[in-house]
Structure 1
């Protein structure tokens, strides 16, 4: 009976069945690195993973958002200074690197790792005016 419960749980949660990364695995894979992500064959954005689960994100326009990530019920959730509502993702490792599924609306966005670097994310400075 216990085996049946485990099988049904895995079938009900495809992300778990496909090897969803834990928070510790995600942190070990990303910390100190900068990832460029793509979606549907096009560039999407770049995120730098800093110490203490801090992040820096850009939609490839060099305007950066500072934030942090945390684990919530097996998902990796991000909040940013300019976007305080949590954005939760499931991450798994594919043949080419990370694959991220946006869990706030699973039919909407899947991102995949295009490039991984140890170089920091380049951001433009704040708007300067008189």
Structure 2
């Protein structure tokens, strides 16, 4: 009996670690991690886009090879939600730490869009198009 309980506990340990790894970041944790950084995200091994995290929860986002969009973020119901100047609906994500970077999952996407941080710098996002120099 004791051996079977020990075996069950040993099997459950990795599962506990996986659940802990996906504990969503709070707004304060996300802000502390991202503030002053420019993070590049990939989806399925392909670079998806880059976001610069500015003071006061402001952001500058660009899909790869696209113009920059200015926006802001806020926390709602445990999610980090972004609103950009040219889009009305917020885009909400669950962020968590994994390894040395961030992972993010888009809320409400039946396909489960998931992004991984693949690069980080403290340099500003280089913007193509009308927002050059902003």
TM-score w.r.t. the length of structure 1 is: 0.81
Alignment correspondent of 2:107: 103
Residue of structure 1 equivalent to 2:85: 81
Any conservation in 1 of the 2:21–2:97 contact (CA below 8 Å)? no
Deviating beyond 4 angstroms after TM superposition, the runs of 4 or more aligned structure 1 residues are 14-17
Alignment of 1:2-13 (within 5 A): none
* Number of residue pairs matched by the alignment: 114
Shift of 1:60: 1.5
Q: Is the counterpart of residue 52 in structure 1 residue 56 in structure 2?
A: yes
Partner Cα distance (1:61, 1:106) in 2: 27
Query: Structure 1's 28 and 106: CA in aligned 2 closer, same or farther, altered over 3 A?
Result: farther
What is the alpha-carbon distance in structure 2 between the residues aligned to residue 57 and residue 86 of structure 1? 14
CA contact (8 A) 1:87 1:104 kept: no
Partner of 1:115: 119
Q: Note the aligned Cα RMSD (angstroms).
A: 2.0
> Aligned in 2, Cα 1:122/1:17: closer, same or farther, shift over 3 Å?
closer
Structure 2: runs of 5 or more not aligned: 1-17
Extract unaligned runs of 5+ from structure 1: 1-13
What SS does structure 1 have at the residue aligned with 2:25? coil
Shifted more, 104-113 versus 117-126: the winner is 104-113
- 2:31 pairs with 1:34: no
CA contact (8 A) 1:101 1:111 kept: yes
Shift of residue 42, structure 1, vs aligned partner: 0.6
Work out the CA distance in 2 between the residues paired with 1:111 and 1:15.
Answer: 18
The structure whose Rg is larger is: 2
Range with bigger deviation, 29-38 or 17-26: 17-26
